[in-house]
Homo-oligomer: A and B are copies of this chain.
Amino acid sequence: MEHAVIQLDPNLKKPLYEQLYSYFSNAIRAGHLKAGEKLPSKRRLAQDTGLSISTIETAYAMLTAEGYLEAKPRSGFRVAHLSVLSHTCTVLPTHTPAFCVPTAFDFSTGSVDTALFPFAAWRRLQRQVLADNEDVLQAGCPQGDETLRRAIATHLAEFRGVRAEAQQIVVGAGSEYLAGLLAQMFPHAIFAVEDPGYTRTPRVLKNCGACVAHVAIDQHGMQPVKLAASGARLAYVTPSHQFPTGATMPIGRRTQLLQWAGQQDGRFVIEDDYDSEFRLDGRPLPALQGLGPDRVIYLGTFSRSIAPAVRIGYLVLPPALVPEFFTRFGFYSCTVGRIEQQTLCRFLETGQYARHLSHLRNAYRRKRDAVCTALYQALAPFDPDIKNAHTGLHFILRLRCQCADKTLAQAMQRHHVNACPLCAYLHSPQESASNHGPTLVIGFGGLAQENILPAAQALAQAVADACRQQKTGAARK
């Protein structure tokens, strides 16, 4: 295809990078540009069209992030294969409400930086596992291989202050599966979940027959008075890094939750410690489980610290629940393949996981700093305020401006920015409580280094757009 025919109109409201993006994405979808075809280099296209390199860079970055193009080092940009395209379209990012579709500038909360995956080590261990032991091919222990459970127990004791023996641990294919087992274990019980909170967890619990009570949080986490009033038997909380506000539950509130659990037989706190590995500043606060191992069901995952594609999570059960769990589920086959279990086991046992975590923390700390700096600069006109960026892979961004959450969400979509307003995680969606302006949940795990500045700028443009629109709307009224 001859790119000389590209016609862009600087007088249109739509920015030039957007017009260039639309031009190419339409051409690819329509099949005018075929899979594998090479796009003109940025320099060449700039010469031919008179556009600035940065405009072209932004458009190419968007096309690449959305799966239209593939960037190969030293060979430029090529049109991606269609299977990749259609695959990208069906992906729903973790923890992201359905209306946030994946886009070029990815501030979603479920993505991680796959470039940090320990490729060489994982490949080597995988090979060793298959070479060493034929036994790894037979069905394993239903609760997960004992060697892996021991390695997890050791890791948790060291890094999270979790007090558990291997026989309390149940390995399973991710937190959702394991949460589903818990719902099945307490049939018809009421599970209290945080509001705002995960949007998926209550759906998983309900699918498995549980009742769900949405209990409001304050800045310290789930409110004990409201929890007590909910009639719940189980309280599902994220004390290390509340999802989505990012708050860490202080010791006083932790004690209150354990007291609530202790007041009645059969009450438990479920501690979802989904991203505690990413304490970026200071020392990590130990897990709530360490304070009350008899009253806490601990839920952890390796999907964030290793890769979302590795579906390994685990439960740590209080000793009193172990017999009941095995009566109900003891005959289930473990849902994690044994090659993967043993690969992870060796990764933990050899100390490579600990080193990997420290590498991850450094890399994400640098990324968080870059993202915060870029957002403070780009959004300066809106007096940005970042909260709870000390841990985890997302934080809260408050803006001082007049646009409504909904208007902003639409503007972000137009600008290919994937970020969620905090209100999207409320059980009964409503406008932000603050009168000052919108609050966004900003994830940075999956944002590519080279997209940090363009993403911040695109977000700033979306906010400006939304404010203009809001003004026009208000003037019309």
- A: which residues have CB within 8 A of B? 83-84, 86-87, 90-94, 98, 110-112, 114-115, 117, 119, 122-123, 126-127, 130-131, 134-143, 145-147, 173-174, 176-177, 180, 184, 187, 200, 203-204, 207-209, 303, 307-312, 328-340, 446
Contact = CB atoms under 8 A, between A and B. Distances in A.
Given A122-B130, A145-B87, A208-B209, A332 B176 contact: yes
Given A130-B123, A308-B138, A98 B331 contact: yes
Nearest to A177: B335
Contacts of A139: 91, 93-94, 110-111, 303, 308-309
A328 B134 CA distance: 39
Given A145-B87, A146-B86, A177-B177, A309 B140 contact: yes
A78 to B, nearest CB: 14
Given A83-B146, A127-B127, A310-B339, A329 B207 contact: yes
Identify the interface centre among A94, A122, A139, A340: most chain B CB within 10 Å of its CB. A139
A434 to B, nearest CB: 29
A344 to B, nearest CB: 10
A393 to B, nearest CB: 14
A126 to B, nearest CB: 6
Contacts of A203: 331
B309 A136 contact: yes
B331 A200 contact: yes
28 contacts: A86-B146, A87-B141, A87-B147, A90-B141, A92-B142, A93-B139, A111-B138, A111-B139, A112-B138, A114-B135, A114-B138, A123-B127, A126-B130, A126-B339, A136-B309, A138-B307, A139-B309, A173-B173, A173-B311, A173-B335, A173-B336, A177-B335, A184-B207, A184-B209, A303-B333, A310-B337, A311-B336, A335-B335
A311 B333 contact: yes
A312 B330 CA distance: 20
A87 B135 CA distance: 11
A233 to B, nearest CB: 17
A207 B111 CA distance: 32
A470 to B, nearest CB: 31
Contacts of A336: 173, 311, 337
A137 B308 contact: yes
A456 B446 CA distance: 59
Contacts of A209: 184, 187, 208-209
Q: Closest 8 CB pairs between A and B?
A: A309-B338, A173-B335, A139-B308, A114-B137, A137-B307, A209-B209, A173-B173, A90-B141
A84 B207 contact: no
Identify the interface centre among A111, A174, A338: most chain B CB within 10 Å of its CB. A174
Nearest to A139: B308
Identify the interface centre among A98, A309, A332: most chain B CB within 10 Å of its CB. A309
Given A126-B126, A208-B208, A335 B91 contact: no
A303 B93 CA distance: 28
A110 B333 CA distance: 11
A134 B147 contact: no
Contacts of A329: 207
A435 to B, nearest CB: 33
Contacts of A111: 138-139
Nearest to A311: B337
Contacts of A117: 134, 137
Nearest to A116: B137
A308 B142 CA distance: 12
